[in-house]
Amino acid sequence: MTPSIPHHALLVTSSLSGEAGTSSALARDYLDRLATRGPDLRITHRDLAGDPPPHLDAETFAAFGTSPDERSAVQRERVAWSDAAIAELRAADLVVVAAPMYNFGVPSALKAWMDHVARAGITFRYTDRGPQGLLTGRRAVVVSTRGGRYAGTAADSQTPFIETFLGFLGLGPIEFVHAEGLAMGEDHAAAALESAQRDLERLAA
Ligand SMILES: Cc1cc2nc3c(=O)[nH]c(=O)nc-3n(C[C@H](O)[C@H](O)[C@H](O)COP(=O)(O)O)c2cc1C
């Protein structure tokens, strides 16, 4: 089934190279392709490398667990970043995550974002049948760039992690586009980028 044209995309980038990062550029290419299908597409950009979220600490986690009317001024400040990031997710019907592989995982700023948007009772809840995501009705596309090649092997620490995380919040379907072997010579890199572009074209069609 062809997915419906999204109205509001949230672009989450995390490359240290900002807009020049390969993951950021591929994600932008995807959104540009989508915009040709739905010119009214609205895009909200959350640049996690340029404006990194604070690491989740004990005080912030305690503030998450305190009801809003009982929070101190300091606690209100502590939850503000998280509330803003969750509002961006809620407003979107498509979430595009640009995730380079750094040291065999996701960039630490992307992990910190995850720590701020996973909130019990707000973006997921526990039930007697296990956790239930509360951000349903949103598709996700993850653009993952790597110097080496790992997709489909046990060394791919990113794909199952990101898929599990976004699914835990209720997002779906979740599609991955990998550009791999970007540090394995020009030929490998060119072929990987071409293949990623083809995948993005297919997803945007
Ligand atoms: C700090 C850092 C750590 C990296 N660690 C890995 C790694 O563990 N595995 C890998 O295959 N590539 C690694 N790379 C290469 C990047 O994944 C690759 O250059 C990717 O294209 C970066 O995407 P970006 O341009 O969007 O930042 C690393 C690059 C940097 C800057």
Nearest CA-CA partner of 6 in 39, 47, 51: 39
Listed in sequence order, the DSSP H helices in 17-97 are 22-37, 58-64, 73-91
The rounded distance, in Å, linking the Cα atoms of 108 and 111 is 5
In the predicted model, residues of the chain with pLDDT beneath 50 are 1-2
Would you state the structure tokens that stand for residue 158, as one six-digit string? 């990113």
> Does the beta carbon of 22 lie inside 6 Å of ligand 1?
yes
- Confidence (pLDDT) at 154: 94
pLDDT in tens, 43-83: 999 999 999 999 999 999 999 999 999 999 999 999 999 99
> For residues 125 and 131, is the Cβ–Cβ distance under 8 A?
yes
pLDDT in tens, 79-95: 999 999 999 999 999 99
> For residues 18 and 24, is the Cβ–Cβ distance under 8 A?
yes
Task: Point out the ligand 1 atom lying closest to the alpha carbon of residue 148.
Answer: 11
- Confidence (pLDDT) at 1: 46
The rounded distance, in Å, linking the Cα atoms of 35 and 96 is 14
- Confidence (pLDDT) at 4: 76
Nearest CA-CA partner of 189 in 123, 145, 142: 145
- Confidence (pLDDT) at 3: 59
Note the pTM of the prediction, 2 decimals: 0.96
Q: Residue of the nearest CA to atom 15 in ligand 1?
A: 147
Domains, the chain, ranges and CATH?
8-204 (3.40.50.360)
DSSP character for 2? P
The rounded distance, in Å, linking the Cα atoms of 201 and 33 is 7
Residue 186 CA to ligand 1 centre (angstroms): 16
Task: Point out the ligand 1 atom lying closest to the alpha carbon of residue 146.
Answer: 17
How far out from the chain centre does Cα 171 lie? Answer: 11
> Does the beta carbon of 13 lie inside 6 Å of ligand 1?
no
The rounded distance, in Å, linking the Cα atoms of 101 and 145 is 6
How far out from the chain centre does Cα 120 lie? Answer: 19
SS3 45: strand
Question: What angle (nearest 5°) sits at the alpha carbon of residue 89, between those of residues 83 and 93?
Answer: 155
